[in-house]
Structure 1
Amino acid sequence: MFKVVVIGASGLLGRAIVGELVQQRDWRLVQTTFSRQSQGSVRLDIRDAEAVAQFIERERPDAIVVAAAERRPDVCENDPALARALNVDAVRAIASAARQRGAWVLSISTDYVFDGKAPPYRDDATPSPINAYGRSKLEGERALAETTDLGCVLRLPLLFGPIVDWQESAVTSLVPAIAASARTSPEVKPAVMDAWAIRYPTYTLDVAVVVRQLLERHACGEPVCGTVQWSGDEPMTKHDIAQRLASALQIDAQLTPQHTPTDATPRPHNCHLDSARLEALGIGRRTPFDTAIREVFALFPWRG
């Protein structure tokens, strides 16, 4: 029996991964959660290294997927200690305990480890993060590599997928402003949307397939280690995304492009990730954005 632990199973990506892995009949799945408890999950604070070690010693998994993190750039900028605790120290603690058990560790990272000045970025490109989030995730990558030889970093860009609230993804968080911009009232102003930073929205259900395929290779005795990357292949600014969302929701939105960066926390211009290493292994799936976002809205319809 192949046993997999998914840490952060109740999050945006964690839920998608669990949904994919529960379909594997010969695998045993253990889910951990913290702030958002779910039925059948184990509560685990990954900031507690001793609790992590005890949990992994008790469960004795063959593989661990680390989908828990502090992924909000503004929060990381304002609370670097929290970012380090979740994105660096917790990864080190998990990797250390996994090494004692001989378990393979897959840790999720981000395109924000790059400065966005020279895309596309191969998995062996030199990182150069420009904000606290990117720096913390890069340190987490290094913590994994320094702690275990049986580890893999999976870098991902902007994620979207089935949600529990609109704010859970930076993609769907645009919906309330889009809807508000269409209301026929003299006080309503157009929604201003960033048209500077280029992103590659990536569907969590596609990432879940990538994770499952990586786990299958480990289960067959051919673990992928080092750094790999996966990304959607449709470049969009936030303004582009908002237009696609408005079309999917059939909202006649008033959208104004903002062509210069205005975020308080610096964001890179274009961190397009090269997915060639995984593609060469026959790993990956890409659902067109318009198809995927309609699937999301079917599950969580707008009732504005």
Structure 2
Amino acid sequence: MFKVAVIGASGLLGRALVDELAQQSDWQVVATAFSRPAPGKVSLDIRDARAVEQFVEREAPDALVIAAAERRPDVCEHDPALARALNVDAVRTLASAANRRGAWTLSISTDYVFDGTHPPYQHDSVPAPLNAYGHSKLEGEHALTESTDLGCVLRLPLLYGPIVSWAESAVTSLVPAIAGSAAPGSKPAVMDAWAIRYPTFTPDVAFVIRQMLERHAQGDAIRGIVQWSGDEPMNKYEIAVRLAEALQLDAHLTPQATPTDSTPRPHNCHLASSRLEALGIGRRTPFDTAIRQVLAAFPWRGAAHA
């Protein structure tokens, strides 16, 4: 029996990963959650080093996937201590505990470790983060590699997938403004048309992680840094247009050609996925197909202001 611990299983990526791994009949999945505890999930605060060590010792997983993080750039900018606790210190604690058990650790990182000026970025390109979020995730990468020789960092860009609220993904968070702009007499919604993003579907990422876990289960663990990304470049304005089409809304949208975020964000951090692709790993669902799946499954689909 191959045992996988998914840390942060109640989040956007964690849920997709648990759903994917549950299909493996000869695997056992131990899922943890903190802010959204639920039946079948172990309550774990990854900021509590002793609790983390006890969890890993008790469960003795063969592999551990860290999907928990503070991923909101504005929050990281205003609360760097929280960003460090979740994105750096917790990674070090988890990876160290897993290393003592001989378990492979996979830690999730971000395209924001790059400044976005010279895409595409390879796994060995030199990082240069622009904001506190990017800095904390880069330090988290170092925390992993310093804590275990049996570990891997998976960098990912903008994620979207099955949601529990519109705000859970930066893609679906656009829906309330899109819906508002379609109301009679409303003002157009202004959407960023400067930053280029590569929306990536969480069930595809979960599929990639399962393939990576299979290699470890077979004694051929992937180590170091790898990257995975969707391959359709689009800015938020273009994402909003496609969301409006999927929702069948006559939205009024205005592109904003200059950056408007208070927290600096990179222009184009396209991640090259070549290292995983060379191993035969990967799956990409077209954005228009995937986003319609997300919208169709959301229980308040018609209530765009929910």
Structure 1 equivalent of residue 297 of structure 2: 299
Partner of 1:180: 180
SS at match of 1:30: strand
Report the counterpart of residue 44 of structure 1 in structure 2: 44
* Alpha-carbon distance in structure 1 between the residues aligned to 2:231 and 2:99: 35
The one-character-per-residue Cα deviations of 1:2-33 (angstroms, maximum 9, x if unpaired) are: 00000000000000000000000000110000
Aligned to 1:209: 207
Distance, in Å, in 1 between the alignment partners of 2:275 and 2:39 is 36
**Structure 1 residue aligned with 2:239:** 241
1:303, distance to aligned residue in structure 2 (A) = 2.3
Query: Separation in 1 of the partners of 2:38 and 2:297?
Result: 19
SS in 2 for 1:284: coil
Give every structure 1 segment of 4 or more consecutive aligned residues whose post-TM-superposition deviation is greater than 3 Å. none
Equivalent in 177, 187, 190 of residue 189 of structure 1:
187
Return the offset for 1:302. Answer: 3.0
**1:209 is matched by which residue type in structure 2?**
F
SS of 2:86's partner is helix
Q: Which runs of 5+ in 2 are unaligned?
A: none
Match of 1:137 in 2: 137
Structure 2: how far apart are the matches of 1:2 and 1:205?
Answer: 21
Specify the alignment match of 2:11 in structure 1: 11
Cα distance between partner residues in 1 of 2:35 and 2:287:
30
Within 5 Å, give how 1:1-304 maps onto structure 2.
Answer: 1-185=1-185, 188-300=186-298, 301-304=301-304
Amino acid at match of 1:140: G
> How far, CA to CA, are the matches of 1:287 and 1:303 in structure 2?
26
> What amino acid does structure 2 have at the position aligned with 1:240?
E
Please state how far the C-alpha of 1:73 moved relative to its aligned partner: 0.2
Question: Normalising to structure 1: TM-score of the pair?
Answer: 0.99
Q: Aligned to 1:211, what secondary structure does the other structure show?
A: helix
Normalised by the size of structure 2, how large is the TM-score?
A: 0.98
- Aligned residue pairs total 302
| Residues 151-209 of structure 1: per-residue CA shift (max 9 Å, x gap) | 00000000000000000000000000000001112xx1100000000000000000000
- CA drift of 1:39 comes to 1.3
Q: How many Å separate the matches in 2 of 1:18 and 1:210?
A: 13
SS of corresponding position for 1:247: helix
- Offset at residue 230 of structure 1 (A): 0.2
- Aligned partners of 2:246 and 2:38: how far apart in 1? 30
C-alpha distance in structure 2 between counterparts of 1:143 and 1:295, whole Å = 36
One-letter code aligned to 2:230: G
Give how far 1:81 is off. 0.1
Percent sequence identity over aligned pairs = 75
User: Residue 38 of structure 1: CA displacement?
Assistant: 1.6
Q: C-alpha distance in 1, partners of 2:217/2:257?
A: 47
Q: Which whole-Å CA distance do the structure 2 matches of 1:133 and 1:303 have between them? A: 32
